[in-house]
């Protein structure tokens, strides 16, 4: 509105216009006029019409908190899932959803309310599409940043992708890891997955149990490696095959200062439930795998079988099998063929009707579990499982531990030894029962145990869901 007046009345400066607004508020408004209300009266005195303002779109950078009935055009950067919650004052259920749009200079969140939350699916808009937001209200979000509320008479319109809008595409705003030099949000970053992706549980700011996807991302020359975390992920939105060495594009992420307790002290890439992962090259197809099962455990609480397996190249995989879908009998050293539901790093999931697994026991050049036995002196922290024949040297001790999330879990530990040394063996949660019934002097075979670093900086062994212990008579 100010720009229109200054364009039509070149003899009036911004300072003069500000004085005229204040004078209207003082003489006419008697304390009831806002700056915008006074500006309407000033414009009328000057003979300036705001029809132009009502018909034009605002650039995102020109929006301000308190603006009403705004219209703006942008390209979709991310679409978040729908959230449902109860209003505090009425205990009535309401829904909202966030989408983020950008133009050539800036970006902003759009909050869709109630009947608007399904609009992206109804009109078929997705990441990279051009949209026009009309009759929105600009408010201050919980983070103090501007956000457009859309409800009531507001609309979203899917626009044809025309150059006249002058809004760069997702590819055109994509940056590389090499260019990251300071914290910034609403980015598209390309890179290569350096380490096996993994999913971890955590408690989010709303006190809900959620999951995060974590891996290291590197540049083409492998000269810079950045810790990458996608928070509050929906596993259904993760690509079917996500493994190390894939070249990807992270759409809708931000760069933060690195946590000195983790990583290498460099910047970090953080995403959320609205972040999308695209493959720069073609997505890897998920082929069948021929593996030898070297250790397994049945989890009756979750009706699944947790296995550790190895292939011909001696690469290890964690294999999770849904017992309700697959009536299969597995023994140690069985050769199996499987077509996964999903590959995440070195984890193979066989958990849906479109996957399968069968025991084939063909003659394959895959190492037997007996060939993987290791002496304690040769154990070092790595991603590979260990098979150790040892003697119990200390009565197992069980205690309750309170985790950071407020959960109380059981932890059991003992000391085992062989003719080359001694080492601590630890079991958490459900695996704790594997150690409880052991006694001093018993000989055991510990199968597929992980070598980790204790708080004291020493190497220790930790039982995993696929680990097992056999007593040797």
Query: What is the pLDDT confidence band of residue 4, given thresholds at 50, 70 and 90?
Result: confident
Q: Over the stretch 428-469, which tens digit does the pLDDT of each residue have?
A: 888 888 888 889 999 999 988 999 998 888 999 999 888 888
In the chain, the percentage of residues whose pLDDT exceeds 70 is 96
Our CA angle for 111, 57, 130, nearest 5°, is 60
Q: Do domains 289-359 and 373-472 have the same CATH topology?
A: yes
Q: Over the stretch 159-201, which tens digit does the pLDDT of each residue have?
A: 988 777 889 999 999 999 999 999 999 999 999 999 989 888 8
What pLDDT is recorded for position 405? 62
- pTM for the full model? 0.73
Across the range 238-259, mean pLDDT stands at 91
What pLDDT is recorded for position 331? 87
Distance separating alpha carbons of residues 322 and 310, to the nearest angstrom: 19
Instruction: Write the CATH number of the domain with boundaries 60-165.
Output: 2.40.50.140
What pLDDT is recorded for position 123? 93
Across the range 49-72, mean pLDDT stands at 77
What pLDDT is recorded for position 158? 93
> 101: which strand partners?
76, 108
What pLDDT is recorded for position 64? 87
Cβ burial of 441 (10 Å; 0-12, 13-18, 19+) is: exposed
Residue ranges of the domains in the chain?
2-55, 60-165, 174-279, 289-359, 373-472
Query: What is the pLDDT confidence band of residue 54, given thresholds at 50, 70 and 90?
Result: very low
Half-sphere exposure (Cβ direction) of 124: Cα atoms closer than 13 Å: 2
Q: Over the stretch 364-403, which tens digit does the pLDDT of each residue have?
A: 788 888 888 899 999 999 888 899 999 999 999 998 888 7
Closest CA to 208 of 406, 58, 437, 472: 406
Distance separating alpha carbons of residues 452 and 286, to the nearest angstrom: 30
- Per the model's pLDDT, the better-predicted residue between 266 and 55 turns out to be 266
What pLDDT is recorded for position 286? 62
Lowest mean pLDDT among 31-45, 49-63, 112-126, 216-230: 49-63
CA 277 to chain centre: 10
Does 77 have pLDDT greater than 90? yes
Across the range 221-249, mean pLDDT stands at 90
In the chain, the percentage of residues whose pLDDT exceeds 90 is 45
Across the range 33-38, mean pLDDT stands at 82
Does 39 have pLDDT greater than 90? no
Q: How high is the mean pLDDT of the chain?
A: 88
Collapsing DSSP to helix, strand or coil, 402 comes out as: strand
What pLDDT is recorded for position 221? 93
Structure tokens at 412: 């059991």
Across the range 323-343, mean pLDDT stands at 88
Instruction: Write the CATH number of the domain with boundaries 174-279.
Output: 2.40.50.140
What pLDDT is recorded for position 390? 94
Instruction: Write the CATH number of the domain with boundaries 373-472.
Output: 2.40.50.140
42-47 contact pairs (CB < 8 A, 24+): 42/5, 42/17, 43/1, 43/4, 43/5, 45/20, 46/5, 46/8, 46/9, 46/12
Q: Which CATH number fits domain 289-359: 2.40.50.140, 3.30.70.660, 1.10.1270.20, 1.10.10.10?
A: 2.40.50.140
């Amino acid at each position: 509105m100010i720009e229109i007046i200054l364009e039509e009345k070149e003899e009036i400066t911004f300072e003069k216009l500000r004085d005229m607004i204040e004078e209207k508020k003082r003489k006419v408004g008697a304390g009831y006029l806002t700056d915008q209300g006074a500006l309407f009266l000033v414009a009328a005195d000057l003979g300036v019409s705001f029809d132009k303002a009502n018909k034009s779109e605002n650039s995102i950078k020109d929006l301000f908190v308190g603006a009403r009935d705004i219209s703006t055009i942008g390209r979709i950067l991310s679409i978040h899932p729908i959230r449902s919650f109860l209003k505090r004052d009425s205990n009535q259920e309401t829904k909202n959803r966030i989408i983020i749009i950008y133009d050539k200079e800036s970006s902003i969140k759009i909050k869709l309310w109630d009947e608007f939350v399904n609009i992206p699916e109804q009109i078929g808009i997705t990441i990279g599409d051009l949209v026009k937001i009309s009759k929105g209200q600009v408010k201050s979000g919980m983070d103090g940043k501007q956000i457009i509320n859309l409800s009531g008479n507001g609309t979203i319109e899917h626009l044809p992708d025309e150059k006249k809008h002058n809004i760069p595409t997702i590819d055109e705003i994509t940056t590389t890891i090499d260019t990251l030099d300071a914290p910034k949000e609403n980015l598209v970053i390309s890179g290569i997955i350096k380490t096996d992706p993994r999913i971890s549980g955590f408690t989010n700011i709303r006190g809900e149990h959620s999951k995060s996807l974590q891996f290291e991302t590197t540049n083409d020359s492998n000269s810079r490696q950045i810790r990458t975390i996608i928070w509050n992920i929906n596993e259904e939105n993760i690509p079917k095959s996500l493994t190390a060495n894939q070249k990807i594009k992270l759409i809708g992420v931000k760069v933060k200062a690195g946590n000195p307790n983790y990583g290498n002290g460099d910047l970090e890439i953080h995403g959320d439930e609205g972040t999308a992962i695209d493959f720069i090259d073609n997505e890897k197809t998920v082929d069948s795998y021929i593996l030898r099962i070297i250790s397994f455990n049945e989890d009756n609480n979750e009706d699944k079988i947790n296995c550790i397996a190895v292939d011909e190249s001696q690469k290890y995989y964690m294999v999770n099998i849904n017992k309700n879908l697959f009536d299969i009998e597995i023994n140690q050293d069985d050769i199996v063929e499987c077509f996964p539901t999903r590959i995440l790093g070195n984890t193979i999931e066989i958990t849906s009707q479109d996957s399968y697994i069968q025991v084939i026991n063909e003659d394959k050049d895959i190492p037997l579990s007996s060939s993987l036995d290791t002496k304690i002196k040769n154990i070092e922290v790595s991603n590979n499982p260990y098979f150790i024949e040892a003697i119990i040297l200390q009565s197992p001790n069980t205690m309750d531990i309170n985790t950071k999330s407020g959960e109380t879990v059981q932890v059991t530990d003992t000391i085992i030894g062989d003719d080359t040394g001694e080492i601590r063996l630890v079991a958490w949660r459900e695996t704790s029962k594997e150690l409880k019934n052991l006694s001093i002097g018993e000989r055991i075979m510990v199968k597929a145990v992980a070598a980790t670093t204790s708080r004291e900086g020493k190497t220790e062994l930790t039982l995993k869901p696929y680990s097992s212990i056999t007593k040797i008579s």
